[in-house]
Amino acid sequence: MTNFRWMEELPAERHREFHALYSGEWWTKERSFEDVTHMLAHCDLLLFCLDADGRIAGFARVLSDFTFKAVIFDVIVAEQHRGQGLGLALVERILSHENLKRVKSFELYCPERLVPFYEKLGFVKGTSSLLFNQP
């Protein structure tokens, strides 16, 4: 993990590079460049990991009230960097982030196949139903 550099802001000139990484996932592939750049401007915490060549290797974002709840979204690791512990490092950095130290409950959504990964980080399956309203 020593060859990685961390950032919490991404200059606008790197938004196309980010969109290429971001739109490569099954849940993000339909998201437009304009919507993704709008999202970047309105998250409470962004976390980017850059590889030794300065390319974006990983990303995660958080929406929070900084007291009771923080929801982690879009934990993404570039394919060539998977299996190196970067996903774990992204989530651990969020859980220990200075701005989130008062948060009582961290939450996230993930497919069933990733539940064991997040359980290693202390997450447990909730008992409530997840409801959606998508106008």
CB 43 within 8 A of CB 62: yes
118 catalytically annotated = yes
Residues 24-56 as b or e (16 or more Cβ within 10 Å = b): eeeebeeeeeeebeebbeeeebbbbbbbeeeeb
Distance CA 9, CA 27 (A): 23
Which residue in 118, 127, 132, 135 is the catalytic one? 118
Taking the C-alpha atoms of residue 21 and residue 76, their distance in angstroms, rounded to an integer, is 8
Of 83, 4, 81, give the one whose Cα is nearest residue 50.
4
The Cα 19–Cα 10 span in angstroms is 12
Q: Distance (Å, rounded) from C-alpha 66 to C-alpha 70?
A: 7
Active site members: 118
